[in-house]
Amino acid sequence: MKWIAAFAALAFATPAVAQADDPLDWSAPDQELRVAVDGGEVWVRVNGDLEADAAPAIFIHGGPGGTHTVFGGLISMADERAVILYDQLGSGMSDRGGDPATWGVERFVDELEAIRQALGVERWHVVGHSWGAALALEYAAAYPQHTASAVLGGTYISTPHWILGTNLLIRDLPDDVRDTLIACEAGRAQPGMNCDAATAAFYRAYNGRADSPPLSPAARRYFGQYNGRGFNGQIYNTMWGPSEFSARGTLVGYDGTPLLSQVDGSRILFMIGQYDEARIDTVQDFLTLTPGAEFAVVPGGSHSFPMERPVETEAILRAWLARKD
């Protein structure tokens, strides 16, 4: 789930033609506010009209410990509905406060509801990515009256399923990379094995592919102005652990799949990249557990598809949100 550092490194380094932006993408917010939550204040930005007929959409970033910047190329959707971005407590532009003992799913869901109340929004779409997908599902189950739809992007909703999926993906890598990663994860790395290089190879395959377009000049400026203190590795390590391939933190036993039978499936969209860490067959199993739900695959995208393929991502989201208003 720790995608942002891997993708950003590739995006800044790749010598290719930068992707073009809509004039609204990577733009300054129409409104900024800080919302008090348990442990501090979270930074929230809004583009577009919160009073428009179309329900607003709040975008929930991954990590844990990531930032809202993954969604900067989707701000142009504000021409149809209000687009709400925020940094979860402890990362990006939000306060670094909070007791690590409270870093759990419930606290981050409460954070979402505090934002809704502060903005005076009655009903909105919750669009989650990676770890944010778990929060979107949890929110939809806890607050169905306020949920127009939930998008479970880069679908992490269960640690056991995620660990099984990433370990299956390791076996699809070249033999030397596979053997190195397996040895490194087991604490049996031999002299000459480069664990960091093998992990980077995994990322290039599934989480920020080498053929991804680099960040545009507008995106680079945005990162400089709105990335705040960036990714918070302490949150990631506390809640998840040191690597994508094994969970040792507070999320080690997390499994939100029972919620799939409790939500309105007709208002659930699973969405992943073609080469996503969230494996297609795993998400198809989730789909089976969610009657009426839909499934979208972003062509050419990895787990970082919102930044790699913003045009395709936006097209899918626009159509889905319009149908579920």
CB–CB of 4/66 below 8 Å? yes
Tokens at 33, concatenated: 């506010």
Which residue, 286, 295, 243, 244, is CA-closest to 134?
286
* Centroid of chain to Cα 311: 17
Would residue 216 show up in a list of annotated catalytic residues for this protein? no
Longest CA span, the chain: 62
Instruction: Please tell me what DSSP assigns to residue 3.
Output: -
Q: Which of these is catalytic: 95, 276, 302, 304? A: 276
Would residue 303 show up in a list of annotated catalytic residues for this protein? yes
- φ, ψ (nearest 5 deg) of residue 144: -60, -30
Q: Which of these is catalytic: 76, 91, 94, 130? A: 130
Residues in the chain: 325
Q: What is the DSSP string of 108-154?
A: HHHHHHHHHHHHT-SSEEEEEETHHHHHHHHHHHH-GGGEEEEEEET
Q: Residues with catalytic annotation?
A: 130, 276, 303
